[in-house]
Amino acid sequence: MPTTQFLAELPSIAPLDRTLAAALQAKINGKTKPLGALGRLENLALQIGLIQNTLTPRIAQPHILVAAGDHGAAKAGVSAYPQEVTWQMVENFLAGGAAINVLARQAHAQLLIADAGVAHEFGPRAGLIDAKIGAGGTADYLSGPAMSLVQCMDAMQRGAVIVRDLAATGCNTLGFGEMGIGNTASASLLTHCLTGLPLAEVIGRGTGLDDAGLEKKRALLTQALAHWPERNDAPLDVLARFGGFEIALLSGTMLAAAEAKMVLVIDGFIVTSALLVAARIAPEILDYCVFSHCSNEAGHRLQLAWLKGEALLDLGLRLGEGTGAALALPLLDAACAFLNEMASFDSAGVSQA
């Protein structure tokens, strides 16, 4: 099937309706504060109001979706950790013991885990969505495609189904996380191919590679590019060549979430690589995105600059799992709360400047 036919089957995103922009800005400016005094919270309130097309936006039933998948290239040594850690960490998520569990609880967000292609059989489990594409994860992209275009499209469509089910329950805000040993390497290749940023500048230490491990990772990823003689920058072709099933699923969830007019809360380097794919397919998606934080992983700051995205937080995080998204959710609540609950100059009888 031609790539253009695949693209036609993906969710369609409407441009953001800015009809209420002036009214929202007037409401923000009318609160009992100097103009602009709440800084980024004011920008957030305006953005969320426009996404929801209302003067009284709210964050309803927020969820964080963590997609997990294994990578064939992980066995070549692109990570400091063995591949088995992927399924072991999924078990940790399901047991409630990981960082994302703690931070999602703190943010009053529901956590969902999607098995997009982990090399392990979990069986039916509460909180686990079976979206498995390949039982053993992707193929080794060091010598060939990580997945076929059909598999790539399947993963994206499964992600879209998850989001449509969430939207039907009233969820209007979705954060994104990931788990997959070796997926920072995949994200580096996606970022380089989709943006043209120098490969060396978007390759980082991932789970903690030492200097020798980092040099090996750089050599392996350079080799992976050399084994793709028909290289191009078409988003689905790049995703199928170097992506993970979890990254493909996330790209599909993002497109469907924007189609459903949700607020998309973007996490770190790997999640942003999935957004790069989605944004190349539908640039309108960026109006629906809140960039939760700037990761300490090499390349994330460059991704944000390329996307013209401004992160809410800069805490030196490099864990993934959606932890940055969870930490940012209370700021979205705060933006809606001040817009809806704070007195205006008129209602409070306070003189304006």
Which of 351, 335, 343, 353 has the alpha carbon at shortest distance from 58? Answer: 335
In three-state secondary structure terms, 180 is coil
Q: How far, in whole angstroms, is CA 32 from its chain's centroid?
A: 35
Q: What pairing do the DSSP bridges indicate for beta strands 263-266 and 289-291?
A: parallel
Tell me whether residue 297 is one of the annotated catalytic residues: no
Q: What pairing do the DSSP bridges indicate for beta strands 173-179 and 128-130?
A: unpaired
Give me the half-sphere count of Cα atoms (radius 13 Å) on the Cβ side of residue 335: 27
CA dihedral 24, 304, 234, 201 (to 10 degrees): 170
Q: Which tokens sit at 46? A: 């305006």
Q: Which residue is catalytic, options 178, 230, 321, 341?
A: 321
Distances in Å between the Cα of 79 and the Cα atoms of 120, 202, 203, 207 are 19, 15, 12, 6
The answer to whether 86 and 136 have CB atoms below 8 angstroms apart is no
Residues tagged active-site: 321
